[in-house]
């Protein structure tokens, strides 16, 4: 099932995120809880998950950003695309990205952007098959 995350899904999401850049599960703290509350209550911040047998096995984040250009149409930004290694190549991440695209279209976005740190050809081809291209824009990152 592809759906948006609920407040009760935090532990499952954090477990899935361990497969994203070897990200450890953070300790529960008031800071983590405050961040989660902020995310879950932000109507522009969408965490899309693929759930199979009660487990979150793939996910992406889609943020809708208001904009004053392009006829004041918003744009969407996709981040944190991840699938549990045992469930890759089963269409789960593609379904999450499709959900994000439909959400962006529903919100009248004029574009949807995605950045990846991966240099793996298979990952880059996956994003191309999902409709993204690396030719229209150049991305620059400044780590803080």
CATH superfamily for 2-129 is Gcn5-related N-acetyltransferase (GNAT) (3.40.630.30)
Domain residue spans of the chain = 2-129
Q: Name the band, by pLDDT with cuts 50, 70 and 90, for residue 56.
A: very high
Q: What is the pLDDT of residue 128?
A: 95
Tokens of 112: 């949807």
Q: How do residues 1-45 score in pLDDT, each as one tens digit?
A: 999 999 999 999 999 999 998 889 999 999 999 999 999 999 999
Q: What is the pLDDT of residue 21?
A: 84
Give the integer Cα–Cα distance in Å for 97 and 47.
Answer: 11
The pTM of this model reads 0.94
Q: What is the pLDDT of residue 86?
A: 97
Give the integer Cα–Cα distance in Å for 125 and 32.
Answer: 34
Q: What is the pLDDT of residue 138?
A: 87
Helix (H) or strand (E) holding 103, with range, is helix 92-106
Q: What is the pLDDT of residue 97?
A: 98
Check if the beta carbon of residue 59 is closer than 8 Å to that of residue 49: yes
Check if the beta carbon of residue 44 is closer than 8 Å to that of residue 77: no
Sign of torsion, CA 133 136 142 144? negative
**Residue 90 in this model has a pLDDT that exceeds 90:** yes
């Amino acid at each position: 099932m592809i759906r948006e995350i609920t407040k009760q899904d935090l532990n499952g999401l954090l477990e899935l995120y361990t497969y994203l850049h070897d990200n450890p599960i953070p300790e529960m703290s008031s800071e983590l809880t405050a961040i989660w509350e902020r995310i879950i209550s932000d109507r522009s911040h969408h965490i899309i998950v693929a759930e199979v047998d009660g487990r979150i096995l793939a996910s992406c984040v889609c943020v809708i950003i208001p904009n004053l250009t392009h006829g004041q149409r918003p744009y969407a930004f996709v981040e944190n695309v991840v699938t549990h290694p045992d469930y890759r190549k089963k269409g789960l991440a593609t379904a999450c990205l499709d959900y994000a695209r439909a959400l962006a279209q529903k919100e009248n976005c004029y574009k949807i952007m995605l950045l990846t740190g991966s240099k793996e050809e298979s990952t880059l081809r996956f994003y191309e098959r999902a409709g993204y291209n690396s030719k229209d824009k150049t991305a620059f990152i400044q780590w803080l």
